[in-house]
Amino acid sequence: MLTRKQHELLRYIHHHLSDQGVSPSFEEMKEALDLKSKSGVHRLISALEERGFIRRLANRARALEVLKMPDTAGAKADNVSAFPTPPKTMPIAANDIIELPLHGKIAAGTPIEALQGTESLAVPAALLGPGEHYALEVAGDSMVEEGILDGDYALIRKTDTARDGEIVVALIDNAEATLKTFRREGSMIRLDPANRHYDPQRYRPEQVVVQGKLSGLLRRY
């Protein structure tokens, strides 16, 4: 049997993937299920993974895949059907490579200059969803609790809008850029780190321009 919270989380992840093309963050899942801590989310995800409903994709931030869904709410684990995912277009071959523009470094700490440089980065097409993308090298450790480490390559889908809880590239004062979780706080924009040693950054809306949302992560060993 799935517990009520396990079923709620599975449905929420499925809906978020269908709507946004990326799995929700731990903070989003915590708020959606009205849990007190992210450790509760971790336990639910581990239980769903053990039961074969989801799996975590290696080397990617916020990367969960729904493998199957219960036939009905509260259905037994042995009474499930494979979740149908008919592609709208032909699937991308797993070995297809796309050259993304590599626009220098993006700070996952104190904001630094970004969106510069003319190099390119070879990326497996399977890591990317729809839309136009570019890559940035992560500098700093303020997003480590989202699995984003110093030296990783953030794969960014171009967009100028964001919802609360999404990880974005935010251009500040038209000069510096940073990778943070986007939130609205009253009349201000708050950019949250994912490291307890860093404080949120608050700006007036006119100071912040969203230049993309995190779509995937590439790590080299």
Which CATH number covers residue 43? Answer: 1.10.10.10
Spatial CB neighbours of 183, under 8 Å, sequence gap ≥ 6 = 164, 165, 189, 190, 191, 192
23, 25, 142, 215: the catalytic one is 142
The answer to the question of residue 116 being in a domain is yes
Q: What CA–CA distance (Å, rounded) separates 136 from 154? A: 5
Give the pLDDT confidence score for residue 85 in this predicted structure. Answer: 43
Q: Is residue 65 part of a domain?
A: yes
Residue 109 DSSP code: S
Report if residue 31 sits inside a domain: yes
pLDDT of the residue at 80: 41
End residue of a domain, out of 47, 82, 117:
82
Q: Does 62 map to a domain?
A: yes
Helix, strand, coil percentages (3-state) for the chain, rounded to 5, are 20, 35, 45
Task: Supply the pLDDT for residue 118.
Answer: 65
In a domain, 22, yes or no: yes
Chain segment 2-32, per-residue pLDDT in tens: 888 999 999 999 888 888 777 888 778 888 8
**Which of 25, 30, 105, 180 does the annotation list as catalytic?**
180
Q: What are the tokens at 153?
A: 């390559």
Q: Which domain holds residue 139?
A: 97-218
Report how far apart the first and last C-alpha atoms of the chain are (Å, whole number). 39
Q: How many domains in the chain? A: 2
Q: pTM of the predicted model, to two decimals?
A: 0.56
Please indicate, yes or no, if residue 125 is contained in any of the structural domains. yes
180 is catalytic: yes
Which one is predicted more confidently, 88 or 21? Answer: 21
Secondary structure letter of residue 203 according to DSSP = E
Residue 206 near residue 164, CB atoms below 8 Å: no
Residue 90's identity, in one-letter code, is M
Same domain for 47 and 102? Answer: no
The reply to whether 25 belongs to the active site is no
pLDDT tens digits, one per residue of 106-157? 877 666 555 566 688 888 777 777 788 899 999 999 999 999 999 999 999 9
